[in-house]
Amino acid sequence: MNNHYPYVNAILRSIENKIFDKSKWQKLAKTDKPLFFKTLAELGYGKSDSASSVEELIDQELLSVKAMIDELTPQKHHTDLFFFQSDAINIKYFFKQKFFGITHFDVYVPLGTISKETLKKAILAGEYSGLEKPLRKLIPTIEKNVQGITNPRVFSTVIDQTIFDYIFDQFNLLTSPALKTYFQTYIDSANLLTFLRSRELKWDQNTCKEMLLTHGGIELSRFLESYSLPLEKLSKLWETEYNGQISRIIKAYNEHQNLDMTHNALDKLMLEEIRRFKYDAFDIGPVIYYYLLKVAEAKNIRMIYAQAGNEQVDMSQMLEY
């Protein structure tokens, strides 16, 4: 479709009020598991009766959102780059299958831009004809970069880094502040989680270093120079990052030692960063923001479903948006 962003953004604003609000969450929190899918449908979530699990239902909902975005977008290259985050998960899965023989579970994510069979043929059989031209270079580059790596953690990091190198190369050809901010914040969040998890597991600094990713907004030296410092001293050192948000996240982690809470806080940070682009008239910002709202909605549905049937659902675990 030959649409323009003002038209797309108007459509997204008109349907944003359908995303779950406090009253819908309260109703869902009172629902037992046998009635959970029925209640979701009554609240306007999910259109398929074929879903056999909450994950399948969520995938169907997000796939319908992606299909709508694909149909509406005036710049498909931008939206494809955004959804490439799901392709990255699938690329890692097939490379681990190829190099480590991991076949006993399937973590394929259906929200990417490359079909499962096309990606499988490219990575496992070296058949690249079904890929877009830039990806015909990316997949062999990943294969070259992971040669000889036997540590699964480092293996995953090298794939992630190669993919982010590819993504940020695209910013030499396109201008999208919202999209660039999204990926920079994503990398900073991943690096902070690696930093905290490595300290928790008492890994040395070099082990942490080999799992950190470039292209984020936070310099890697910030992580490495503060790696051996006590947690209580870190929040003050990080006050300048993201207007003090990282400092507050580290302070909360020091108090609770709970990485799940940190994940939630970083998801909230991402929403706040992209909210700045919500009203962009000529960029992908409103599209990214709407999709992230749907992802946050899905995360809350998972959380409530996991507690369904309990005497009381712990609503403090919800991701606010």
End-of-domain residue from the set 174, 195, 213: 174
Same domain, 89 and 104: yes
Count up the domains in the chain and report the number.
3
Over range 22-50, report the average pLDDT. Answer: 90
CATH number at residue 64: 1.10.132.50
Using pLDDT thresholds of 50, 70 and 90, give the confidence band for residue 105. Answer: low
Confidence check: pLDDT of 1 > 70: no
Cβ 110 vs Cβ 63: under 8 Å: yes
Same domain, 161 and 217: no
Over range 222-240, report the average pLDDT. Answer: 93
Over range 164-172, report the average pLDDT. Answer: 94
Mean pLDDT of the chain: 94
Q: What is the pLDDT of residues 286-314, one digit of tens each?
A: 999 999 999 999 999 999 999 998 888 89
Q: Compute the distance between CA of residue 157 and CA of residue 38 in angstroms, rounded to an integer.
A: 41
Same domain, 159 and 118: yes
Same domain, 180 and 265: yes
End-of-domain residue from the set 174, 193, 215: 174
Confidence check: pLDDT of 2 > 70: no
Same domain, 191 and 261: yes
pLDDT for 311 equals: 82
279: Cα within 13 Å, side-chain hemisphere: 1
CA distance readout (Å), 229 to 44, 59, 202, 222, 247: 49, 41, 13, 12, 14
pLDDT for 77 equals: 94
Q: Compute the distance between CA of residue 308 and CA of residue 56 in angstroms, rounded to an integer.
A: 17
Same domain, 94 and 128: yes
CATH number at residue 220: 1.20.1690
Over range 4-28, report the average pLDDT. Answer: 94
Over range 103-132, report the average pLDDT. Answer: 91
Same domain, 244 and 156: no
pLDDT for 312 equals: 87
Confidence check: pLDDT of 156 > 70: yes
pLDDT for 46 equals: 84
Q: Which of 41-50, 82-91, 194-203 has the lowest mean pLDDT?
A: 41-50
Using pLDDT thresholds of 50, 70 and 90, give the confidence band for residue 113. Answer: very high
Helix (H) or strand (E) holding 299: helix 285-307
Same domain, 128 and 159: yes
Domain extent, residue 129, equals 82-174
Helix (H) or strand (E) holding 273: helix 259-275
End-of-domain residue from the set 131, 157, 174: 174
- Considering 33-42, 47-56, 92-101, 265-274, the range whose residues carry the highest mean pLDDT is 265-274
Same domain, 180 and 256: yes
Q: Compute the distance between CA of residue 99 and CA of residue 110 in angstroms, rounded to an integer.
A: 22
Using pLDDT thresholds of 50, 70 and 90, give the confidence band for residue 108. Answer: confident
Same domain, 255 and 272: yes
Provide, rounded to the nearest whole percent, the portion of the chain with pLDDT above 90. Answer: 88
Same domain, 102 and 183: no
Confidence check: pLDDT of 10 > 60: yes
Confidence check: pLDDT of 48 > 70: no
pLDDT for 291 equals: 98
Same domain, 240 and 223: yes
Provide, rounded to the nearest whole percent, the portion of the chain with pLDDT above 70. Answer: 98
* Residue 191, number of CB atoms within 10 A of its CB: 20
Over range 119-138, report the average pLDDT. Answer: 96
